[in-house]
A = this chain, B = another copy of it.
């Protein structure tokens, strides 16, 4: 039986989980895969702390060269943070003919093109199951299980931190900051949660899923991203009255030659399967032309769930190494159409909208706003006008009330024009809150 040697670079929460599985479940992996997978080296910037899964001295690499120059190390598992260092590490490892496993979504979303093209050239495999939706095997499902489908749409809850916050706002009536604090105390949000809260993390993940689903690299800087930092409990409550639950949704849809990718707070019908995905769980819905609608649900983060995905990649790559083959075994590459994805411009999105205005409590204001909507061909589906002042973004002296308009499908462009005109005409005393609604009309 061939011995496959693995090195881990970056020894944090996920790294400890991976080492734990490789060390303590070696026999299980051998029984299942017929392979002897050995954790040979671990490198981290500092060994001066207590680790959940301690590493014996002879496996601690003193420097990166000890790993890069070791011809017996077949697979480098990249579990560091950021982009620059891991990019260097991954490119160097590929150059040294080492296969890669990474959980780094930022790296792949922003530097994926360079990495995958280099890997293709060197016949190297890059496993990244753990980069999207933690332990859920969604990458394998898209590459192989659903290979016989043209993917029409892929969307889901891809960030556990924001889902925890929104669930706790929806279910326990907490404010955004109360919920964020609680998430940090429980270890579900990092000390600096910016990239989670502002939607960037989910955007990295949906970009990776989009490349696999639609077959091309894309310019991440053009992906439309909006976070949950401005979400008010008032909108969650008003949405609930309309039958909606608020989620930070990452959405990718294919329209002929264009791909629409967007991440933003989204109202979903409360009986939609994704509305039931609570707390730190993730879920991805995939619509294929043959399979119809499928959903994949599980833990999107955490040491062992993420390590489960990392180790599945290690085993798969170890298997191909043991058979003397490289990335020619992979079904569905990240750029299987061999052309860049053409992203829909933000103003060209079509969806439904929830818009909350803050209006003076005088007769006739609804009619005025409705006439602006009509002018821009925006059709209104429902209106909620509250008789009493519920809560305000800023303190205001005049008596104002929230007025919510739910539209039928409209273009983002027309919505923005209508809003601009409504603001200019002072029909709303605060900038309106705009939340997109994913509730397709038949």
Residues of A in contact with B (beta carbons under 8 Å apart): 17, 21, 25, 28-29, 31-33, 129, 135-137, 140-141, 144-150, 215, 273, 276, 288-299, 302, 304-305, 307-309, 311-312, 315-316, 319-320, 323, 325, 328-329, 331-332, 336-337
Chain B positions within 8 Å of A332 at CB level: 32-33
Determine how many copies of this chain the complex contains.
2
Q: Is the CB of B150 within 8 A of A146?
A: no
Q: Is the CB of A31 within 8 A of B337?
A: yes
A320 to chain B, nearest CB (A): 8
Chain B positions within 8 Å of A146 at CB level: 135, 137, 308, 312
Pairs of residues from A and B, 3 with the lowest C-beta to C-beta distance, nearest first: A137-B145, A294-B298, A148-B311
Q: Is the CB of B312 within 8 A of A148?
A: yes
Q: Is the CB of A304 within 8 A of B290?
A: yes
Question: Which one of A33, A148, A308, A336 has the highest number of Cβ atoms from chain B below 10 Å of its Cβ?
Answer: A148
Q: Is the CB of A295 within 8 A of B298?
A: yes
Q: Is the CB of B150 within 8 A of A312?
A: no
Question: A297: which of B144, B297, B308 is its contact (CB, 8 Å)?
Answer: B297
A150 to chain B, nearest CB (A): 6
A287 to chain B, nearest CB (A): 10
Q: Is the CB of A144 within 8 A of B149?
A: no
Cα of A295 to Cα of B147 in the assembled complex, Å: 20
> 24 A-B Cβ contacts within 8 A?
A25-B148, A32-B147, A32-B336, A137-B140, A137-B145, A140-B141, A140-B144, A145-B312, A147-B312, A147-B315, A148-B312, A273-B276, A290-B305, A290-B311, A291-B308, A292-B305, A293-B299, A294-B296, A295-B296, A295-B297, A295-B298, A315-B331, A323-B328, A325-B325
Cα of A145 to Cα of B331 in the assembled complex, Å: 15
Question: A308: which of B28, B149, B299, B320 is its contact (CB, 8 Å)?
Answer: B149
Q: Is the CB of A316 within 8 A of B21?
A: no
Chain B positions within 8 Å of A215 at CB level: 31-32
Chain B positions within 8 Å of A17 at CB level: 290
